[in-house]
Structure 1
Amino acid sequence: MATTIGFCNLSPVFRRDMKSAYVKPKLPSPILKPLAVSAEQASIAGFAATATTSFAEKKKSSDQEGEPTKKIKRLLDVEESEEYCGGKRKSLKDYFEEAKSMMIRSDGGQPRWFTPIECGSHAPADSPLLLYIPGLVKVIERKIKSEKNGLGKRPIYLVGESLGACLALAVAARNPHLDLVLILANPGDPFKMALDNVVKGVLLQPTVEGLSQNLVSMLSYIPVRFKSQVLADILPKETLLWKLELLRSASAYANARLHAVKAQTLILCSGKDQLLPSQVEGRRLRCAISNCQTRSFNDSGHFLFLEDGVDLVTIIKSANFYRHGKIVDCISDFIPPSTSELNKVHENIRSLIAVTSPVMLSTLEDGKIVRGLSGIPSEGPVLFVGNHMLLGLELIPMITQFIIEKNILLRGITHPLIFFKMRDGFEGAFDLLRLMGAVPLSATNFYKVLSSKSHVLMYPGGGRESLHRKGEEYKLFWPEQSEFVRVAAKFGAKIIPFGAVGEDDVAQLVLDYNDPIKIPFLETLADDGVNINPRSGLSGEVANQDVHTPICVPKVPGRIYIYFGKPIETTGRKHELRDRKKSHEVYLQVKSEVEQCLAFLKDKREHDPYRNVFSRLIYQATHGFTCQIPTFPL
């Protein structure tokens, strides 16, 4: 029996404990408008998911020794007594009990399919299908083909780990005409594992012991009184040996057909996998499969999906793999970050926020400059236009503060390169930007994101400003002609110019694009020589968008300052600003006000008694580390 599970389409409320290290945050409004799906309340957010447990080809015996592994997949946290969609979420203990009574029996029947989540809501009709598979190839094929007729142009996601990953590759190779997305966790090649063991003088028994160590990690999620029962009844040594034999057969089949795999593939590799050489195998498959990316989890073991902090939904979204059609639509396919994702992001960047103590200023309608973002309109569309600091240092504090103080998610227009396949080792570098709603630069995407009434962040200087050379701090590299005014006017968007300073107090640029020193692995972030230039048709400095990695050294941190000027209205000016001359005048006005914002901040920060980190630490030591640190008088 196949059961399709849905998700609750709930708008999350930010947790009250999400505090800022530099601003005492206001309580957010009850609903964060742009954020629509809470991952901790969804099994697979945005998917019509079928969790499958297949136990075909069972070994016949009078008792349970040698039965196949009873694969029970935890798709989300399973804390006891936790609320879920108006009911109670079951614990892992409950699922082991149910699995023992329903799944663990040798009756020669068909593979059993079950869902580990019970929820009254169903997935939206346009959701893609996701299958978690440790089943057999032909069974999976039948399921895919039966479901595909009702999915239209939507893809089918196959999520497999270890043996399931080999089966997913085999299914993809046999069905290159189907639109499949493969998410493979720790796919293994037992031949390589055996060779490694021979070289090291390791026999099979230590290999099983290595797997047992991984099982200890998994069993940490199970109540103590159930551990011995689980080991004895569900995962005996014979079962592990049986699984290794299945894995050998499946990997041999899949390896012989890798050239035929056309599916979009994401391989998740654990750094501490004691059963399989997952990272080595991930790199091999990345080269062997034409449309493949990898992500490394250096501190994780073989059972990746059972570990805290590993969220399959977040991984898929961050890698830009979530889509409803043939290609990703950055607007309609975007699932906003959930509360737990935002909390994790905030936790990861807390130290940077603490040492730079950003100062945010905005301008009210009457022209008064105030501390904080009260001058920012809550309703979109709003277009923020400003300067890039080195490596976009202003992005983290800006996006974070907008979420905490205004409950607003900024959709940044970014270099298209961050959405392309990167050189091995750099692929996860921009996952955070994609998770937070980055949009690749193009006229179509800019039109779409403004039409959605979002708060949009644009940098006319683009990569040329964020990767500027030595001595070019705070210099604008804007195109000669307007790129955004007429589109903003079409939707009546408010244009807010802003300036950001502080990079020269945080880092020192040592090597830039012009330096004669050549470091091969830092020449470009692009893979296979790909270097996308979104402004190749323009002239001047802004057309020089070559991607490189500048070398910086940290300095005793000063402060980051961001000042948002008075909004420029375009409502009612749609027809007026169709005229190129008129729109160019507004474009020059915006550029001029950005330069004024920069000049204002560079002057005022000289009068900030807390510009240096040591003076800020002394202030916090006497007033508390959650206090708002003063700045220059306004």
Structure 2
Amino acid sequence: MGLILHHKALGKVFKVQCLHIPVQDRTPFEGLVKLVEETIRHEHASRPNSPIYLVGDSFGGCLALVVAARNPTIDLVVILANPATSFGRSQLQPLFPILESVPDELHVTIPYLLSLVMGDPVKMASVGIESRLSPMQKMKQLSNNLTAMLPLLSGMANIMPKETLAWKLKLLKSASAYANSRLHAVKAEVLVLASDKDNMLPSQDEAQRLKSSLSNCIVRRFKDNGHTLLLEESLNLLTVIKGTCKYRHSRKHDFISDFLPPSMWEYRYGFDVVSGYLRFASGAAMFSTMEDGKIVQGLAGVPNEGPVLLVGYHMLMGLELSCLVDAFLREKKIMVRGIAHPELFWGKLQTSSDEFAFADWVKVMGALPVSANYLFKALSTKSHVLLYPGGAREALHYKGEQYKLFWPDQPEFVRMAARFGATIVPFGTVGEDDIAELVLDYNDWMKIPVINERIKESIRDGIRIRDETKGEVANQQLFIPGMLPKVPGRFYYLFGKPITLKGREDLLNNREEANKLYLQVKSGVEQCIDYLLKKREEDPYRSIIDRTIYGALYSSADQAPTFKP
């Protein structure tokens, strides 16, 4: 049942097989383990250098862990959805003896009641309802889905007769005990998916126990889901695999060769749900510069063919990112690969919360860890790469520093771009001062007892980059600035005139010329910012109020006109 919502997406990148245990089957747990082992070993023999994925849902989680423990030399990625390793601590443990001895005439209600305890019918019925629908349309579709689904739940007694239920409970007991006794032998990569509202098992606590017990385990929590996690709305298994960097072709995940472009569902969910409010509030207006220097609305001035290096200014908290990536996907069908801080991949920002959230979505949308190696690989594959030389120092700037560039002295990205004959496009963005007011910066936080010590500790334990860099750009303290929202204005983007480096191999060895070009790019970014700051004063729809009125009268608010370039 858990495969129903996911097999289509999984089938595009995996060879999918499913273990089915017939209702009348009475194969003991050890027999099921051997059955799965035979399949795993057969697959490994035919593809010895490729990982094999084991997805274990509830009881299947025990099965997957035991198979992994007994086959430590096979490269396995084990994904556990509310694993039944916690069966001995189940909230329903006192009821299980009663369930096994309930009279036949009452048994017809037991599977139905269990189905309601195991999952949230509303979450199940919400599957497939578009987020873009109006509240009234959503309620109507939800009502129709519930009406169609509830009779199916009442038929659970036919699927799960009394004898089968009794057998399943005994099987769960033995599976849980067997798996827990073998945890120390599991060497596989493990991802645990845990529901906070699991009324069947203490899955949230169990996830943390497994994380501390297994040698290579990470957890993702889903706070609004029940036990039947894979059957409920808001979870796409392939998306979770991608966002946690578990999808790989070889022993180690590679952000270039293992990248899977976002699906239409991921695109819609990422931009409509995860960052939907910011997109609506910012009303992004895009401009670009043609080869002849003419500024036009839209992205026509940005080359379609890569490699292209987009080099620009990082607004406060990187607020400009989602609208920029969205614009390239909408208008040019181009996936922009952003170079991001390693804290999003391996640091505390990645592990501070076990929820599948922003840091995971950044990876689904193609972010790359900042390093010369990944910039090299991205340009070599002719990608459109997004680079912020000012990094965290710009994105976490102090009061009064908006629209000020903090770039290092080394022109390394120029030489890298020249190596591949890439096109550099400088760009500027403005609008952070139209969205929020910075009220507490790093200096302010440092004046507050207790909080300042926590920030210092976080910085001390964090991943540092550019330790060799001097000046302000090396001062990249990671903190969350205090901001107050404003009545939203608008974001503006201007991509400057493209700088083609094809045939400029001389820049590889001529540092003086490379530095001149570096300063040209920096000046180009500053000119774009200055242009936008002046021209936005001419925009009749700069305020969200004006854009909303326009949207109500003519079309959607995010299509409101802007100033003429």
Separation of aligned partners in 2, 1:586 and 1:243: 70
**Secondary structure of the equivalent of 1:391?**
helix
Deviations 1:496-526 (A, max 9, x none): 0001111111112233322222566994699
Equivalent in 251, 255, 261 of residue 330 of structure 1: 255
Deviation at 1:310, TM superposition (A): 2.2
Task: Give the partner amino acid of 1:161.
Answer: D
Equivalent in 553, 557, 560 of residue 484 of structure 2: 553
Q: Which residue is equivalent to 1:83?
A: none
Separation of aligned partners in 2, 1:396 and 1:417: 18
Q: Which residue is equivalent to 1:359?
A: 285
Q: Which residue is equivalent to 1:435?
A: 364
Q: Which residue is equivalent to 2:87?
A: 190
Q: Does 1:631 align with 2:531?
A: no
Between 1:226-235 and 1:354-363, the stretch displaced more is 226-235
Question: Contact 1:162–1:247 at 8 Å: present in 2 too?
Answer: no
Cα pair distance change 1:546/1:258, threshold 3 Å: farther
Q: Which residue is equivalent to 2:17?
A: 50
Q: TM-score, normalised by structure 1?
A: 0.76
Equivalent in 374, 387, 393 of residue 445 of structure 1: 374
Cα pair distance change 1:491/1:446, threshold 3 Å: same
Cα pair distance change 1:522/1:299, threshold 3 Å: farther
Cα pair distance change 1:327/1:595, threshold 3 Å: same
Question: Contact 1:208–1:241 at 8 Å: present in 2 too?
Answer: no
Separation of aligned partners in 2, 1:144 and 1:560: 52
**Secondary structure of the equivalent of 2:246?**
coil
Equivalent in 289, 296, 306 of residue 370 of structure 1: 296
Task: Give the partner amino acid of 2:364.
Answer: L
**Secondary structure of the equivalent of 1:385?**
strand
Alignment of structure 1 residues 219-298 onto 2, 5 Å: 227=152, 230-298=155-223
Separation of aligned partners in 1, 2:201 and 2:164: 17
Equivalent in 183, 191, 212 of residue 115 of structure 2: 212
Deviations 1:450-477 (A, max 9, x none): 1111111011111221122222212211
Equivalent in 504, 508, 519 of residue 573 of structure 1: 504
Q: Does 1:148 align with 2:29?
A: no
Q: Which residue is equivalent to 2:103?
A: none
Separation of aligned partners in 2, 1:386 and 1:356: 18
Deviations 1:115-164 (A, max 9, x none): xxxxxxxxxxxxxxxxxx99832332332223212223221111001111
Deviation at 1:47, TM superposition (A): 1.5
Deviation at 1:431, TM superposition (A): 1.2
Alignment of structure 1 residues 37-186 onto 2, 5 Å: 42-53=9-20, 55=21, 103-106=22-25, 136-186=32-82
Q: Does 1:494 align with 2:423?
A: yes
Cα pair distance change 1:508/1:186, threshold 3 Å: same
Deviation at 1:322, TM superposition (A): 0.3
Q: Which has the higher helix share?
A: 2
Separation of aligned partners in 2, 1:321 and 1:527: 26
Between 1:154-163 and 1:622-631, the stretch displaced more is 622-631
Separation of aligned partners in 1, 2:337 and 2:112: 48
Separation of aligned partners in 2, 1:142 and 1:522: 54
Deviation at 1:609, TM superposition (A): 2.6
Between 1:594-603 and 1:508-517, the stretch displaced more is 508-517
Separation of aligned partners in 1, 2:305 and 2:172: 54
Separation of aligned partners in 2, 1:371 and 1:40: 42
Q: Which runs of 5+ in 2 are unaligned?
A: 100-108, 126-144
Q: Which residue is equivalent to 1:564?
A: 495
Q: Which residue is equivalent to 2:133?
A: none
Cα pair distance change 1:633/1:216, threshold 3 Å: closer
Deviation at 1:481, TM superposition (A): 0.9
**Secondary structure of the equivalent of 2:53?**
strand
Q: Which residue is equivalent to 2:352?
A: 423
Separation of aligned partners in 1, 2:255 and 2:196: 31
Q: Which residue is equivalent to 1:17?
A: none
Deviation at 1:563, TM superposition (A): 0.8
Separation of aligned partners in 2, 1:207 and 1:460: 62
**Secondary structure of the equivalent of 2:16?**
strand
Task: Give the partner amino acid of 2:339.
Answer: I
Separation of aligned partners in 2, 1:491 and 1:561: 30
Q: Percent identity?
A: 48
Question: Contact 2:398–2:441 at 8 Å: present in 1 too?
Answer: yes
The count of residues paired between Structure 1 and Structure 2 equals 523
Deviations 1:540-580 (A, max 9, x none): 22223332222322111111111110001101112344311
Question: Contact 2:459–2:478 at 8 Å: present in 1 too?
Answer: no
Question: Contact 1:134–1:167 at 8 Å: present in 2 too?
Answer: no
Q: Does 1:313 align with 2:275?
A: no
Deviations 1:285-335 (A, max 9, x none): 222223222112222221222224422111101111100111111111111
Deviation at 1:441, TM superposition (A): 1.3
**Secondary structure of the equivalent of 1:326?**
coil
Task: Give the partner amino acid of 1:149.
Answer: A
Q: TM-score, normalised by structure 2?
A: 0.84
Cα pair distance change 1:253/1:627, threshold 3 Å: closer
Deviations 1:398-444 (A, max 9, x none): 11111111111101111122122512446633111100111111111
Cα pair distance change 1:167/1:146, threshold 3 Å: same
Separation of aligned partners in 2, 1:458 and 1:486: 14
Q: Which residue is equivalent to 1:19?
A: none
Question: Contact 1:317–1:434 at 8 Å: present in 2 too?
Answer: yes
Deviation at 1:371, TM superposition (A): 1.1
Equivalent in 544, 549, 554 of residue 618 of structure 1: 549
Q: Which residue is equivalent to 2:514?
A: 583
Separation of aligned partners in 2, 1:358 and 1:215: 40
Question: Contact 1:134–1:160 at 8 Å: present in 2 too?
Answer: no
Between 1:430-439 and 1:542-551, the stretch displaced more is 542-551
**Secondary structure of the equivalent of 2:17?**
strand
Question: Contact 1:495–1:569 at 8 Å: present in 2 too?
Answer: yes
Cα pair distance change 1:203/1:342, threshold 3 Å: same
Question: Contact 1:533–1:546 at 8 Å: present in 2 too?
Answer: no
Question: Contact 2:248–2:258 at 8 Å: present in 1 too?
Answer: yes
Q: Which residue is equivalent to 1:409?
A: 335
Q: Which residue is equivalent to 1:15?
A: none
Question: Contact 1:523–1:549 at 8 Å: present in 2 too?
Answer: no
Deviations 1:32-73 (A, max 9, x none): xxxxxxx995443322222222x3xxxxxxxxxxxxxxxxxx
Q: Which residue is equivalent to 1:77?
A: none
Equivalent in 269, 284, 300 of residue 225 of structure 2: 300
Separation of aligned partners in 1, 2:452 and 2:356: 14
Q: Which residue is equivalent to 2:306?
A: 380
**Secondary structure of the equivalent of 2:193?**
strand
Q: Which runs of 5+ in 1 are unaligned?
A: 6-38, 56-102, 112-132
Cα pair distance change 1:627/1:334, threshold 3 Å: closer
Question: Contact 1:362–1:375 at 8 Å: present in 2 too?
Answer: yes
